[in-house]
Each structure stands twice: as C-alpha cells, then as structure tokens.
Amino acid sequence: MKLTTTLAGALAASTCLAGMAAAQTELTMWYHGGGNEVESNILDGIVSEFNAAQSDWMVTVESFPQGSYNDSVVAAALAGNLPCILDVDGPVMPNWAWAGYMQALPISEAALEGHLDATIGRYNGEVYSVGLWDAAVAMYTRQSTLDALGVRTPSLEEPWTLEEFNAALAAAKASGDFEYAFDVGMAWTGEWYPYAFSPFLQSFGGDIVDRSTYLTAEGALNGDEALAFGEWWQSLFTEGYAPGTSQDPADRDGGFVEGKYAFSWNGNWAGKVALESGIDDLLFLPAPDFGNGSTIGAASWQFGVSGTCEYPEGAAAFVEHALQDKYLAAFSDGIGLIPSTAEAAAMSQDYNEGGALEVFFELSNQQALVRPVTPGYVVAAKVFEKALADIANGADVADTLDAAADEINADIERNGGYGH
Amino acid sequence: MASKLTTSNRAGWAFAFPGFGLLAMFIVVPFFFAFYLSLTNQRLISPNPTEFVGLDNYRSLLSISVLSIEPEVDDAGAVVRNEDGNPKYPRVRTFTRNNPEYPQYAGMREWFRWHSGDTAKVVVATDVVFWKSLRNTLMFVLVVAPVQGAIALGLALLINQRLRAINIYRAIYFMPVVVSIVVVSLLWRFLYAEEGLLNSILGALSFGMFEGRDWLGDPDTALGAIKAMSIWQAVGFHMVIWLSGLQTISPTLYEASSIEGASKWQTFRYVTWPGLRNTAVLVLIVITMQAFALFAQIDVMTNGGPLDSTTTVVFQAVERGYGKQDISGGSAISVVLFLIVLTISLIQRYLTREK
C-alpha cells in the first residue's frame, strides 16, 4: 500500500515536471567556447537560472570550439539548421545580418544603458547583438625597462608619439638586453591581424575601407597615410625590432614574461598570466599616437538571434537576463574579460577601482574603435591580413596596399555594394 | 552497336550501381556543378540572387600580358641611372592604376620582369597570386613525381628480400603514410623551426659552421622544405605499390637470368624493369595527381606564405571559395586545375602506351 502511494506520488510528480517542461518553449543556443570548462560552467549557470526563473522559455546550449565556430554557423545556415540564439564575433555580425542569418534583437534600450559602446552590435540603425564583455589591447612593458632605456612613461592623455616610440624601439634594440624590441604577435594569424594592427593604420590616418561610404578601399588603404603606415610597419621587421611571421607561437605566449621582448602588443586576456608570473612592475600602456590619435580595436563575442528563429522575444528575454552585472562580473573573473558596464567592473576582481587590470576598462571606454561595420569586413579582414604579412616579409609597400585595395573593391563590387 | 555492356546484363549493372552511384554523386555531379558555378557570381554568403556572368571569373583569373617599360630619361634625353649604373624605371603602378592611356593594363600587378637592352619587360597579371600558385604547384609536381617514385622503387627493392624481420623495415617505411598528414605537418613545422631539430643536427654535423635558418619563413627554402617533407611522408605508399609489382614478377625469370650470368644491373634492366611497366604507369599517374592536390601541408605549415612562395592551386581554391566567400572564383580555379590534370594525365597515358 505504502509502496503504491510512493509510486503514484512519483508518477504524479514526474508528469507534473514533464508538463512544466512542455509548457516552456525550447530555444537552442550555440556558443563558441567549447573546450573551456570555466567558461562553459558560467554559461550553464546563467542558462539554468534563466530556465528556472521563468516558465515561457527553456534554453539549451551547444558549445563549439572557437576555431570552427564560424564555419559551423555558415554550414548550418546553408543547410537551414541554425539555432535560435547565436553567439557572434562583433565584426562578423554585419555579414550575418546582411545575409539574413541574424535578425534584429528586440531588446529594450533600457537594458543596454551604461554598456560600453563597442559591446552593442548595431547595424543599419538596429541592435543585432549584445556582448557581455569587451576586449582591449595594450602595450605590455616593465617600468624598469622604461627607466633603463630612459623613455618617458606615457599616459592615456599623453601617449607616445611616433618619434618617441621609434626612439624607444631603437633604444631597446641598442641595449642588447632583448632578443627583439617589440613583439607584435605575428604568430597569431587570423583575426588578430586586423583586430590588433588596423588601429595602427587608423592612428596614421588610414583605414581598411573608407567608412564614409563603405564602398571603396581606394585612398583609405593605399593613400599617403596608409603608405606611411606600411613603410613604418615594414621598418619594424627590416630594422629587426619585431619577430616576423615565423615567430614561434610559444614565444608569443611566454616570450615577454621570459624577458625576450621589451614591449609586447597584447590583449587584456593575457594580463592575468603576466601578473601572476611575478613581474611586479608590469605596465599596460596605451597605443602610440601616430598622428591621428591613439586607438585600439573593440567588439568581442556577442549574443544575437538567428534569422530563422521564431521566438526572437524569447531570445531577447534570455539576453536581457544574461546582461545582469553579476554575470558580467562572473565572466570577467572566470576568463579575464572586460565587463560591459562600469557597475559590473566595480564588482569584478580585476577591473574594479585599484584592480590590477583596471586600465583596460578605461582603454576600452576611451579609445576603442570598432572594426568597419560592413558585411564586407569578413573578406576585407582576410585581404588586410595577407597584405600585412606580405609587407612584413619584404613585399613592396605601395604595390601590396594597391593590390589589397583592388581586391577589396572587387569584392564590394561583386556583392553589389553589400547593401550600403 | 549492341555490345555485352548494353544487352541483357542487368545483374552486372546492378552490381556496378553502388560504385557508379557514389562516383557520380561525389565526383561527376560536383564537377558539373563547379563548372556551372564558375560561370556565375555565386557567393558563399549572400542575400543577392546569383547571376550568370559568363567567362568573367576566368578572365580575371587568367588575364596576363607583357608591359614594356622604357627607362626614365632626363631633360637631355639621357637615361637616368642609379649608382650601380642600372637604369631607373617608372613604377608599374603608374601604368596600371588610373592611367587612361593604358586601359588594357588596368588593375594588373607585376609578376616578374626581365630586361632586353634598357627596356624592362614586365609580366603583369590581374591575378598574380593565382599564377604564382600555378607555378609553385608545377614546380612541386616536377620534383616530387620523379623523386618520390624513384625513392619508393629503391625502398621497394631493398625490402623485397627474404631477410629475418624484414616486416619491421616494411612497417617503418610505411608508418608516415598511416599518420594523419596534419599531424605530420605540425611535427615537421617544429623540425624546420629556427631553433628546431634540423638546424641543430646540421649545426652539430658541421661543427657549428652551419648557421640556423628559418626554413619555412624564407621564400627561397619554404617550398623546398615542403617538397622534402611531402616526399618523405608518402614514399611508403608508393613503395608498397612497387613491392606488389615486384612480387608479380615470376621467380623463374630471375633464375633464368642468373643461369645466363646476368649482372645485378642487367637483371634489373632486362627482367625487373620491364616487369614493372604497368606498376610504373600507375605510380607515376597517382603521384602526379596527388601532387597537384597539395593542400594540407600548406594549410598547416605556411598558409601559402611567405610572399606567396608556397601557395598552391588547391589552397587558392579553398581560400577563395571558403575563406573569401567567393564560391564562383574558387570553382573557376577548380575547373582550370581539372583541365590541367586531365591534359597531363592524357599525355602520360599516351607516352606510356603499349607500343
């Protein structure tokens, strides 16, 4: 008798649970951080809290390794199998939005208040994606290195000028203390090149494409300012200041800490490792001002809703839920990224006032410039990467940049102007 | 023309169907698809409708011409020369960019140049990278096909002996074939690194005389390094084919030749080699086709760099079709490659035909 009651109770309870689950509409989500346990745990936590907090939606997550994430999305889109909630890299978003892989995210402007500009993915006047974090790049060096070389310590208000920076590189090389003066990170092929190096070009006064129309690269990528950038870029390698395209990836990761390089151009995600390695006078300096202001790249991974999703309001509800400061701070503490809001930064371990990486929040806040917001960026980025690698390997600067501008223009033309 | 193939042979066709079906689905249909796509402006990702563009893709891929540049002259009409006495030339970009006097060269880039007298003859092409990839691929095939075939034959002769534990040697030579090419490429990247094993061995052998060089980072050595690695990797496969050929030669022929007093060379020349005829044709064609398909090593080791010195036709097809989202351009490259390989295979068939 007792057993029967228990069984009946269990049956009733499970039916009830199943009934509840059925009432929730399932929303699938794809995420780029497969293989990273910390990251997955935080995301799973957000998802389960969201699923428990309301009864309309039930989010399930599938993670992919970052290297093959974009390919997976493109393949799924061609096959018509996109999930509902998409994780998208900031600069790629316009391409997917233009292709119809994504639709505008029906999120309230109030939910976005106080967010760093670059964490909000806007295209054609609409919000398509929102990021829980941003990333920033800084010049890593040691105070003792600057003192030994007799170089001024720059600040956000007064970054190095081109002459000062070149003099610092020459002094570092002349000191003989370093294998190379300046590690720009040539070993990190792929998106690192346009993300990290196009701000140098912009600081010279050029750009990957002409942002006033987004219809041509002529003059932006091969104008006089761009040629000046190209000559300077090439000099980094011909003068022996920077290791070239065949830099060992292990040196890229550990070379600065080991003292092989005087300066290293690296992202905030490497900051923790450098701090924990026992360098007590580590500095994160702003990019040099090459004439047109000091600037760095912006926009990291963001959440949006796929074009085929039938429940954009459900996706928006999830994104709004995920944008709570406690989650932003959790991601920051877990994987070292810059929280999207000042409040979350204050809650985080490293980006709060006096925190070890605080300076990155200000870099993002004051200097960040998103990569060209155009569907053509995906191809332009590849062309730019190859041009910079070729110039580093000794190709003629003017010819290489001309060819790159031509290739970008041909691509824009073949795509009917990418809707601009 | 009723033949056995077409009359009352349903069972035969039924047995052949799975094989033919797969071949058609994965090779024949995609080829016609590629040919069709190469005549359009199909993109990987695009909301725009696909348009028929005729031969535009081939035109931008294959356009090539020679531009003659006269040296600069000063006011007196004398040729301007630099310190070494070489004439100074105006830059190619002054002819190919925004120059209405030379519309036929618009958008072209220099591939290479030579001099006839003081005139510079510059070969300009719309798609220099493609031409470089074609040259690299041909250079790769020209070296790899004969060298790999010859080494494989040498190894096959070595292991075609009745020795104790010969299977261990066979296994050792065959091992690189079994390992994934991606893994092999990664390992060789470390071997070729500036502080890698190859440089230390050469340094030790030459008592420090040899200074380490960056094998894959130098345009002069990168393709050679990949050739050497590719030959090593696949030589075991062709060794096994040669070995199977060797074992079909009747032992009585060798007995007869030894009774006749033939030397080792004579035995090889007049017994072994004629017996390997069909195997040789197979090995040559297989190596040639594999060499034309060079991709994984490039993708893992160099990405086509430095300065396009290792880019190949297949690498370009993938890079454009998928990386740069230009399916039509990638298809055009595939079609050109297909025609080249077909032509070469037909020539090889003709040259090695039974007379």
Put simply, whether B299 touches A (Cβ < 8 Å) is no
Q: Is the pLDDT of residue A154 over 60?
A: yes
Which candidate, A236, A162, A206, A167, places its Cα nearest to that of A398?
A206
Please tell me the predicted confidence (pLDDT) of residue B4: 63
* Chain A: residue whose CA lies nearest to B306: A393
Across A242-289, the runs of DSSP E, i.e. the strands, are 261-267, 282-285
* Of the candidate ranges A51-55, A163-167, A308-312, B93-97, the one whose mean pLDDT is the lowest: B93-97
Q: What is the rounded CA–CA span in Å between residue B110 and residue B90?
A: 13
Put simply, whether B209 touches A (Cβ < 8 Å) is no
* Chain B: residue whose CA lies nearest to A380: B324
Q: What is the rounded CA–CA span in Å between residue A231 and residue A133?
A: 34
Contact yes or no for A344/A325 (Cβ under 8 A):
yes
Q: What percentage of chain B reaches a pLDDT higher than 70?
A: 97
* Residue-range domain boundaries for chain B: 65-125, 129-351
Q: Is the pLDDT of residue A4 over 60?
A: no
Which class for B41: exposed (0-12), middle (13-18), buried (19 or more C-beta within 10 A)? buried
Please give the CATH topology (third level) of the domain spanning A2-134+300-354: D-Maltodextrin-Binding Protein; domain 2 (3.40.190)
Q: Residue A201: which pLDDT band, with cuts at 50, 70 and 90?
A: very high
Pick the CATH number of B129-351 from 3.40.50.880, 3.30.450.20, 3.40.50.620, 1.10.3720.10: 1.10.3720.10
The three-class DSSP label of residue B340 is helix
Token digits for A382?
């590849």
Token digits for A359?
């300076």
* Chain B: residue whose CA lies nearest to A384: B324
A12 contact partners, CB below 8 Å, separation of at least 6: none
pLDDT in tens, A348-362: 888 888 888 888 888
Q: Per residue of chain B (355 residues), give pLDDT as tens.
A: 556 666 667 888 888 899 999 999 998 898 899 999 999 988 888 888 888 888 888 988 888 888 888 888 887 777 777 777 778 888 888 888 877 888 888 878 888 888 887 888 888 888 899 999 999 999 999 999 999 999 999 999 988 888 888 888 888 888 888 888 999 998 998 888 887 888 888 888 888 777 778 888 888 889 999 999 999 999 999 999 999 999 999 989 989 998 988 888 999 899 899 989 889 988 988 998 889 999 999 988 888 878 999 999 999 999 898 888 889 999 999 999 999 988 988 888 888 777 6
Please tell me the predicted confidence (pLDDT) of residue B44: 85
Contact yes or no for A300/A337 (Cβ under 8 A):
yes
With b meaning 16 or more CB within 10 Å and e meaning fewer, what string describes A210-238? beeebbbbbebbbbebbbbbbebbbebbe
Put simply, whether A224 touches B (Cβ < 8 Å) is no
Please tell me the predicted confidence (pLDDT) of residue B5: 62
Interchain proximity A393–B46, CB inside 8 Å: no
Please give the order of strands across the beta sheet that includes B64-69: B64-69, B119-125, B109-116
Which class for A419: exposed (0-12), middle (13-18), buried (19 or more C-beta within 10 A)? middle
Put simply, whether A395 touches B (Cβ < 8 Å) is yes
* Of the candidate ranges A127-136, A303-312, B3-12, the one whose mean pLDDT is the lowest: B3-12
Q: Residue A112: which pLDDT band, with cuts at 50, 70 and 90?
A: confident
The three-class DSSP label of residue A407 is helix
Measured between CA atoms, how close is A410 to chain B, in angstroms?
Answer: 10
Interchain proximity A382–B306, CB inside 8 Å: no
Contact yes or no for B93/A399 (Cβ under 8 A):
yes
Q: What is the rounded CA–CA span in Å between residue A344 and residue A341?
A: 5
Whether ipTM tops 0.85, in short, is no
A189, A414, A416: residue with CB nearest B303? A189
Q: Is the pLDDT of residue A68 over 80?
A: yes
- Please spell the DSSP secondary structure of A161-216, one letter per residue: BHHHHHHHHHHHHHH---SEEEE--TTS-STHIIIIIHHHHHHHT--SS-TTTSS-
With b meaning 16 or more CB within 10 Å and e meaning fewer, what string describes B153-172? bebbeebbeeeeeeeeebee
Put simply, whether B60 touches A (Cβ < 8 Å) is yes
C-alpha B196: how far from its chain's center? 26
Which of A222, A237, A245 to mutate to test binding with chain B, by most B CBs within 10 Å of its CB? A245
Q: What is the rounded CA–CA span in Å between residue A94 and residue B216?
A: 36
As a dihedral over the C-alpha atoms of residue A348, residue A354, residue A358, residue A359, rounded to 10 degrees, the angle is 180
pLDDT in tens, B81-134: 777 777 888 888 888 887 788 888 887 888 888 888 788 888 888 889 999 999
Token digits for B143?
């070296």
Please tell me the predicted confidence (pLDDT) of residue B3: 63
- CA angle, corner B37, sides to B31 and B43, nearest 5? 130
Q: What is the rounded CA–CA span in Å between residue A197 and residue A181?
A: 17
Measured between CA atoms, how close is B315 to chain A, in angstroms?
Answer: 14
Please tell me the predicted confidence (pLDDT) of residue A15: 47
The CATH class of A137-297+373-419 is alpha beta
A100, A393, A410: residue with CB nearest B307? A393
Put simply, whether B93 touches A (Cβ < 8 Å) is yes
Place of tokens 């790999």: B148
Please tell me the predicted confidence (pLDDT) of residue A129: 92
Q: What is the rounded CA–CA span in Å between residue B340 and residue B345?
A: 9
Report the predicted TM-score, pTM, of the whole model to 2 decimal places. 0.86
DSSP type of residue B45: S
Please tell me the predicted confidence (pLDDT) of residue A183: 93
Q: What is the rounded CA–CA span in Å between residue B285 and residue B320?
A: 28
Q: Residue A17: which pLDDT band, with cuts at 50, 70 and 90?
A: very low
Q: What is the rounded CA–CA span in Å between residue B342 and residue B349?
A: 10
Q: B90-99 — which CB contacts under 8 Å span 24+ positions?
A: B91/A398, B92/A399, B92/B67, B92/B122, B92/B124, B93/A398, B93/A399, B93/A402, B95/B67, B95/B69, B96/B67, B96/B124, B97/A402
Task: State the average pLDDT over residues A292-302.
Answer: 89
User: Between B301 and A23, whose confidence is greater?
Assistant: B301
Please tell me the predicted confidence (pLDDT) of residue A18: 46
Interchain proximity B216–A98, CB inside 8 Å: no
Put simply, whether A167 touches B (Cβ < 8 Å) is no
pLDDT in tens, B209-255: 777 788 888 888 899 999 999 999 999 999 999 999 999 999 899 89
Interchain proximity B45–A101, CB inside 8 Å: yes
Measured between CA atoms, how close is A150 to chain B, in angstroms?
Answer: 32
Q: Residue A1: which pLDDT band, with cuts at 50, 70 and 90?
A: very low
- CA angle, corner A396, sides to A395 and A397, nearest 5? 105
pLDDT in tens, A245-288: 888 888 888 889 888 999 999 988 888 888 888 888 888 899 99
Interchain proximity B194–A246, CB inside 8 Å: yes
Query: What one-letter code names the amino acid at A316?
Result: A
Q: Residue A22: which pLDDT band, with cuts at 50, 70 and 90?
A: low
Helix (H) or strand (E) holding A86: strand A85-89
* Chain B: residue whose CA lies nearest to A73: B45
The three-class DSSP label of residue A327 is helix
Q: What is the rounded CA–CA span in Å between residue A253 and residue A9?
A: 58
Task: State the average pLDDT over residues A373-393.
Answer: 92
A394, A395, A415: residue with CB nearest B43? A415
| CATH topology agreement for domains A2-134+300-354 and A137-297+373-419 | yes
* Residue-range domain boundaries for chain A: 2-134+300-354, 137-297+373-419
Place of tokens 């995920």: A322
Put simply, whether A252 touches B (Cβ < 8 Å) is no
Contact yes or no for A214/A95 (Cβ under 8 A):
no
**Cα separation values, A341 from A37, A113, A117, Å:** 24, 9, 10
Query: What one-letter code names the amino acid at B85?
Result: G
